[in-house]
Amino acid sequence: DAKTTQPTSMDCAEGRAANLPCNHSTISGNEYVYWYRQIHSQGPQYIIHGLKNNETNEMASLIITEDRKSSTLILPHATLRDTAVYYCIVRVSTGANSKLTFGKGITLSVRP
């Protein structure tokens, strides 16, 4: 699976958009970009995933660059409960042996 790089941390004000970047310059054509988050003392939680088109769900939006070498997770209106570690992962989407390889992620702190 391709390696990802993320900043160590960032913060944003409550109610503002949080834009979390991720670089995955060695991504292969059949690898998807996934985002998970982990709130303190809880297990990771799936947020969103995409291949090359931008995606949006009730939690967030995912913007993938045209060359697919980087992406941005957008939380449109961050709340204090969004404070967590956010993991960007790239892997082949397959039911067979779909283990997730997590890096250290980016710690998002939402301030009042």
Partner 1 sequence: GAGVSQSPSNKVTEKGKDVELRCDPISGHTALYWYRQRLGQGLEFLIYFQGNSAPDKSGLPSDRFSAERTGESVSTLTIQRTQQEDSAVYLCASSLGGAGWDEQYFGPGTRLTVT
Binding site for partner 1 (CB under 8 A): 32, 41-46, 49, 87, 93-105
Spatial distance between the Cα atoms of 1 and 17, rounded to a whole number of angstroms: 30
Task: Give whichever of 15 and 103 is closer to partner 1, judged by the CB atom.
Answer: 103
Task: Give whichever of 1 and 14 is closer to partner 1, judged by the CB atom.
Answer: 1
**In the complex, minimum distance from the CB of residue 96 to partner 1, in angstroms, rounded to a whole number:** 7
Q: Which residues of 55-90 are buried (b: 16+ CB within 10 A; e: fewer)?
A: beeeebbbbbeeebebbbbbbeebeeebbbbbbbbb
Task: Give whichever of 14 and 55 is closer to partner 1, judged by the CB atom.
Answer: 55
**In the complex, minimum distance from the CB of residue 71 to partner 1, in angstroms, rounded to a whole number:** 17
Contact 14, 112 (CB under 8 A): yes
**In the complex, minimum distance from the CB of residue 30 to partner 1, in angstroms, rounded to a whole number:** 12
